[in-house]
Amino acid sequence: MSRFDGRFATALQIARVSNPMLTSVPEIIATLVLRPLLSAVLLVAVLGSVGVTDLRDAAYASILLSFGMAVMLGAVMHVSSDRNLGVAQEIVSHGLWNPPYWTAKLLVPMVLGIVPAVLSSLVVFWVSAPHDADALLRVLSLIPLAALIGALVGITAAITSFAFSDPYMVSNILDSVLLITAGVVLPLQMYPDWLARIARLMPFTALVEAVRTTRPIWPFALRELVIAAVWLLVGILIARRVMALIRSGKRSQEIW
């Protein structure tokens, strides 16, 4: 086994055993099957009750956003739990470029989220009329993009939290802000101009816009990737600054 494989296997094992949703077969079934099915049905019912006109697209957009944010929050949770396991310093000792570590941290929330995302999309297709197969295929094709953006934003939130005493501070803020800026319930055209301009600089907004249009997906995907990459770059600069202060002795406290 290569050094990369060994480090990846170790990191993956730590991520798996530290996730409470993988402790038993009933919990796995509830997480991957029952909860997404119930959530999709409730989502359609709630959106319909508040008078959302594009009910189907809003439901699809919510599924993609929920999946992407679940990947983000899962990555932050695993990195934060490493503090209690005594392995968080691996990030500092090996630097931020640590593919085995980050792959393991992202793989578990991706696997846990992709099945519910697909099942929920199928449920929305089934309960919504007319049954538009093109819309379903469109949202299914966007699920990998949601996973990738969630991963990039998750790494950003995890490493940016190095600068704060609360490891969940950044992810909690994003969890609240992105629900508004993504434009799931209302399209950005209905937002005030200043808020719409800000929203278009936030992750997941282009992803949601791709659901609500029949235009080609790739311009929205490209815009989403560029925005997520810029966010990640800012996170890297912040984290490197914090780690430089730690190595120089100017910051003596632990990362968290």
d(CA 66, CA 170): 17
Q: What is the residue whose two structure tokens read 């640590």?
A: 98
The token pair that represents 102 in the structure block: 């980050």
d(CA 201, CA 226): 10
Name which of 135, 143, 134 is nearest 57 in CA terms. Answer: 135
Residue 211: band (very low, low, confident or very high) from pLDDT cuts 50, 70, 90? very high
pLDDT for 225 = 96
pLDDT in tens, 70-126: 888 888 888 877 766 666 555 655 677 777 778 878 888 888 788 888 888 888 888
d(CA 171, CA 161): 8
pLDDT in tens, 37-62: 666 566 666 666 655 667 788 889 88
pLDDT in tens, 156-197: 998 888 777 778 888 889 988 988 898 887 788 888 999 999
Name which of 99, 115, 185, 179 is nearest 147 in CA terms. Answer: 115
